């Protein structure tokens, strides 16, 4: 083997090693880009979960509470301007309704707050009694 042949082999090996090194650098860049994208997605996902937990979940919980009170109003009460039901009796009927219908029971204060805002017709709270509704016959 002549020295020029040996030099050519060495140059070929160097070029091959340089190409391999270049390929490795490109691969490393791709991996870095991939992990950077994953980080962004992870942060975005964390933000979405935080929004769900902080904002959306309480709104859904409020809707569920409202829905239970609204259903009680629709299914267990009859509008009657000449009747009055004591607050405690109305709340106890609401609790029974929730238990039989599988709905979540809310605290009495929350029930009264939402119930007072129901319309068509709106119940009136007067000295511890609700005026404007009576129970359906099968509610009691």
pTM: 0.56
Closest to 85 in 3D by CA, of 53, 51, 117, 124: 124
Least confident of 45-54, 82-91, 116-125: 45-54
pLDDT of amino acid 48: 64
Phi-psi region of 8 (alpha: psi -120 to 50; beta: other; left: phi over 0): alpha
Calpha distance 72→139 (Å, rounded): 10
Backbone angles phi, psi at 129, to 5 degrees: -130, 150
Calpha distance 102→120 (Å, rounded): 26
Q: What integer best gives the mean pLDDT of the chain? A: 80
What does the pLDDT look like over 45-74, one tens digit per residue? 766 666 666 665 554 455 567 788 888 988
Q: How far apart are the first and last CA of the chain?
A: 109
Fold entry, domain 59-135: Arc Repressor Mutant, subunit A (1.10.10)
């Amino acid at each position: 083997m002549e020295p020029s042949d040996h030099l050519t082999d060495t140059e070929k090996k160097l070029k091959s090693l340089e190409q391999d090194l270049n390929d490795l650098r490109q691969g490393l860049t791709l991996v870095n880009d991939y992990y950077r994208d994953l980080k962004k997605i992870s942060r975005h996902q964390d933000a979405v979960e935080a929004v769900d937990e902080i904002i959306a979940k309480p709104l859904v919980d409020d809707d569920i509470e409202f829905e239970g009170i609204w259903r009680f109003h629709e299914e267990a009460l009859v509008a009657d301007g000449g009747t009055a039901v004591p607050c405690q009796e109305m709340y106890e009927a609401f609790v029974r309704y929730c238990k039989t219908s599988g709905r979540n029971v809310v605290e009495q204060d929350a029930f009264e707050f939402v119930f007072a805002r129901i319309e068509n017709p709106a119940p009136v709270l007067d000295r511890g009694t609700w005026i404007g509704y009576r129970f359906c016959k099968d509610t009691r």
